[in-house]
Amino acid sequence: MKVDKQLCERYLEEKFDDVVWSFSRINSFYICPYTWYSTYVLGNYSSNYLADVGSLVHNILEDYYKYVLAGGERMLDVEIREVLVKKFTRGLKKITTFDKPHWYKGHERNIVQGLNTFTHNPDIIATEREYLFEIEGYKFKGFIDFEEQDFTGDYKSKWSFEKYAHQQCLYISAREYNGVHTKGFKVVEYKKDMSVPVFYTDTKIIQGDAEDWAVKGIKDIRKALEKAEFPNSPDFFFCNNLCGASSCEQHPLSKINNRL
């Protein structure tokens, strides 16, 4: 893939030291280095169907708990589910700026089924709170989907320990950096049974691994910028549903343009 060495040098000189890092900013590099380059160096920020639908679910759940935490009237779970599904269905109509994949109907149907299992969590004390913290002098920022006194929490369409454990443990680091003791994390899968969260305790060992992973990621990104080397990582699902780097030869738009 073509990478502009001068742009990489400029990014290192003018921006790198001031970057506020996050799990997604580092993880995107490991998923596909070229997509990281396209997003952060070239500034080609873009969304996709899955990201927009995920944001919609997060927003309606955040709205509900902010309403409750602000003193709103506690409804029955069946009433809450009805409201969540209506807001989700209404929000889907606004997601029209790009082509939807052929399987989107099934994806949305599974989310509706998940929302219909929602159970109010009376232990939640905050939602989408921003945390600023540091790891080995590097600045980080994270937004935690929901918090209990002793746990952090996140909403995922589908949970994978291998994919997301580092993210959850960085959130624990964020709280502890700010003086909040945390015992573990909970994950609510909004495409499954939302009334039964997956949770983990005794995360101290992998928390250290997560911090090491984050620092290594930053150093690997610096090396890639110094060498101006950002290869693509072809993956059918990622390239066709998640990637926004339309200049990449694997991107669907690039393939279409090449045929014209």
Is position 167 within any domain?
no
**Listed range (17-26, 183-192, 243-252) with the worst mean pLDDT:** 243-252
Placement of tokens 């691994």 in the chain: 209
Better-scored residue on pLDDT, 242 or 54:
54
Q: Which of 15-24, 63-72, 246-255 has the lowest mean pLDDT?
A: 246-255
Contact 12, 223 (CB under 8 A): no
**If you average pLDDT over residues 126-151, what whole number do you get?**
97
Over 50: is that where the pLDDT of 95 sits?
yes
In-domain check, residue 11:
no
pLDDT of 253 strictly over 60: no
State how far the alpha carbon of 148 is from the alpha carbons of 27, 157, 212, in Å: 26, 20, 26
Query: What's the confidence (pLDDT) of residue 146?
Result: 98
Does residue 15 carry a pLDDT above 80? yes
Number of domains in the chain: 1
Which residue type, as a one-letter code, is found at position 122? P
Looking at residue 147, its pLDDT comes to 98
Indicate the pLDDT class of residue 251, thresholds 50, 70 and 90. Answer: low
| pLDDT above 70 (res 22) | yes
Question: Does the pLDDT at position 259 exceed 60?
Answer: no
Which helix or strand (DSSP H or E) is residue 67 part of?
Answer: helix 49-69
The answer to whether residue 63 is domain-embedded is yes
* Average pLDDT of every residue of the chain: 90
Q: Does 58 reside within a domain? A: yes
In a domain, 90, yes or no: yes
Instruction: Give tens-digit pLDDT for 207-233.
Output: 889 999 999 999 999 999 999 999 987
- What confidence tens digit (pLDDT) does each residue in 39-86 have? 999 998 878 889 999 999 999 999 999 999 999 988 999 999 999 999
pTM of the predicted structure, to 2 decimals: 0.88
Per-residue confidence (pLDDT) for residue 112, from 0 to 100:
98
User: pLDDT grade, residue 119 (50/70/90)?
Assistant: very high
Q: 258 falls in which pLDDT band (50, 70, 90)?
A: very low
Q: How confident is the model at residue 254, as a pLDDT?
A: 46
The fraction of the chain above a pLDDT of 90, given in percent, is 76
Confidence of residue 128 (pLDDT cuts 50, 70, 90): very high
* Distance between CA atoms of residues 233 and 76, nearest Å: 47
256 within domain boundaries: no
Between CA 184 and CA 186 the distance in angstroms is 7
Residue by residue, what is the 3-state secondary structure of 20-37? CECHHHHHHHHHCHHHHH
pLDDT computed for residue 96 by the predictor: 73
Q: Name the pairing type of β-strands 151-156 and 138-147.
A: antiparallel
241 is a domain residue: no
Burial 125-150 (b: 16+ CB within 10 A, else e): eebbbebebebeebebebebbbbbee
Range of the domain at 69: 49-115
Residue 73 lies in a domain: yes
DSSP conformation letters of 88-139: HHHHHTT--SSPPPTTHHHHHHHHHHHHTT----TT--EEEEEEEEEETTEE
Closest residue by Cα to residue 87 from 117, 60, 116, 54? 60
